[in-house]
Structure 1
Amino acid sequence: MAPLVQAAHERGITTLTLDSPANRNALSEALVGELRAALAATATATDPEARAVLLTHTGGTFCAGADLKSPCDPADFLALLHEITALPRPVVARVTGHVRAGGLGLLGACDIAAAGPESTFAFTETHLGVVPAVISAPLLPRLEPRAAARYFLTAEAFDAAEATRIGLLTSHGPDVDEVLAPVLDGLRKAGPGALAATKELLTAPVRTALTRDGEALTALSARHFGSAEAHEGITARLDRRSPSWVL
């Protein structure tokens, strides 16, 4: 089977590309496993020129959230988020498509995130009868509180400008590569030791939340994913109909 995560290296930047467009780069057990392995390889690399990781995607969706047909274990997803935040190099998200549910957790774990004009975002969990539990750890320290309450509860979609305003994105623009060019150039000019120590300083609140609350959050996620309400919500989504509770 073709790899679901592609890796490339150029001028100090390791690009990891989510390459499972058939299921909109959903968080399947296989994709999460491959992304964790790719990050581990990056973490142990001894290349003195390595400065940062660029996380991007193929297709029109950066990540659709959990793979409803083959979901990953919530504990594995929690570990992935922890590994992104603990990586001794900055992780930069490059988004040119849609992001939903657990995919937003990936953005929250990244140090810098930028998107193009076609991107949209939504915390779709409540419409499926599940809870945005695990992703709350990296996201709540970053998001404007009133916006987090609104979008977590209502599952409304919003655009890149709003995502930037509320803290989900660092920036956005008509050409995401133009937006990221000075960011990547700045990282290339940084001392690798200073870069790692500064990232450790910046990610301390998120890493603390993941460690302190991770077990409870994964239990909450698993409990709701296994509920009758989630079964109805997920079945309705796969059948392309409204769940029975919609008024």
Structure 2
Amino acid sequence: MSYTTLTITHEDHVATVTLNRPDVRNAFNETSISEIKQAFSELGEDAALRAIVLAANGPAFCAGADLNWMKKMAGYTHAENHADALQLAEMLRAIYLCPKPVVAKVQGDCYAGGMGLVAACDIIVAVDEAQFCLSEVKLGLIPATISPYVIKAMGENAARRYFLTAERFGAREALRIGFAHEVVAADALDAKVAEIVKTLVNNSPHAVQQAKTLVREVSGQAVSDALLADTAERIAQIRASDQGREGVASFLEKRKPAWLN
């Protein structure tokens, strides 16, 4: 598929999906929402890929919703608004459920729905000059469709503050509250993302996929007999898997595992 709002590149088992509407600060509209969803759905099924980087062109990472799109939405009926919101929700879910680990490379400001894009990723690296803002209440709106991911990323306590105040906050605050995993100077961003991606690529692709699923499905569960049985079954299955057997064998034999050859 050809894309008009994104660029996609491949190198050494890694795909980079780049938001490419710098003239509007990479704000999204119907087209970009559809393309992002399609891109992550397709890349998630690519057996050759071991990691995906979500990046952006221009000074801003993503300003949220495109103004022209917002003007159009102002005339929508309730049913049209509901259908439109579901498209955004499905796009975010495509990133969140993508079988490949996704690293957000935040090179600039990230507002409103852009924070949902970032929060749906697995690892978030931001430049120290980036500003973040959940600005919806300033417009009489709420960050509803992005809330499942943003609350998971920053926690309920921080979400209470920033959902309600619409304050801007910096990358260091994003790091403090757990929204970002790494904050670096602009000239160190490429190297830090490359370092993280290298660790992902070097690990067992199957184990990385299963570990991502493990976090998602175990988080928040009570430590019950059912959970103990579930996690025991997961480790039993992966021990018996081809990559599980190969990983242990290569460790004991002091050689590289087959997936690195």
TM tier, smaller:
0.7 to 0.9
1:59 is aligned to 58
* Aligned residues of 1:172 and 1:179 also touching (Cα < 8 A): no
Does residue 190 of the first structure (1) align with residue 203 of the second (2)? yes
- Cα distance change of structure 1 residues 133 and 2 upon mapping to structure 2, 3 Å threshold: closer
Does residue 108 of the first structure (1) align with residue 125 of the second (2)? no
C-alpha displacement of 1:16: 0.2
The number of residues matched between the two structures is: 205
1:221 is aligned to none
Does residue 41 of the first structure (1) align with residue 52 of the second (2)? no
Task: Map 1:86-235 onto structure 2 (within 5 A).
Answer: 86-174=97-185, 175-204=188-217
2:243 is aligned to none
Residue deviations 1:10-63, cap 9 Å, x none?
A: 11110000001121111200111111111122022232xx11110000011111
2:125 alignment partner, SS class: strand
Structure with more relative contact order (C-alpha pairs < 8 Å, separation 6 or more): 1
Percent identity between matched residues is 37
Distance 1:188 1:156 in 2: 37
> What amino acid does structure 1 have at the position aligned with 2:16?
T
RMSD: 1.9
1:185 alignment partner, SS class: helix
Q: TM-score, normalised by structure 1?
A: 0.78
C-alpha displacement of 1:68: 2.9
Does residue 6 of the first structure (1) align with residue 7 of the second (2)? yes
1:82 alignment partner, SS class: helix
> What amino acid does structure 2 have at the position aligned with 1:155?
A
Q: Decide which moves more: 179-188 or 153-162.
A: 179-188
Residue deviations 1:80-127, cap 9 Å, x none?
A: 111111111101000111000010011111000101122110000011
Task: Map 1:63-74 onto structure 2 (within 5 A).
Answer: 63-71=62-70, 73-74=84-85
* Aligned residues of 1:107 and 1:169 also touching (Cα < 8 A): no
* Aligned residues of 1:85 and 1:203 also touching (Cα < 8 A): no
Distance 1:46 1:186 in 2: 18
2:26 alignment partner, SS class: coil
> What amino acid does structure 1 have at the position aligned with 2:210?
A
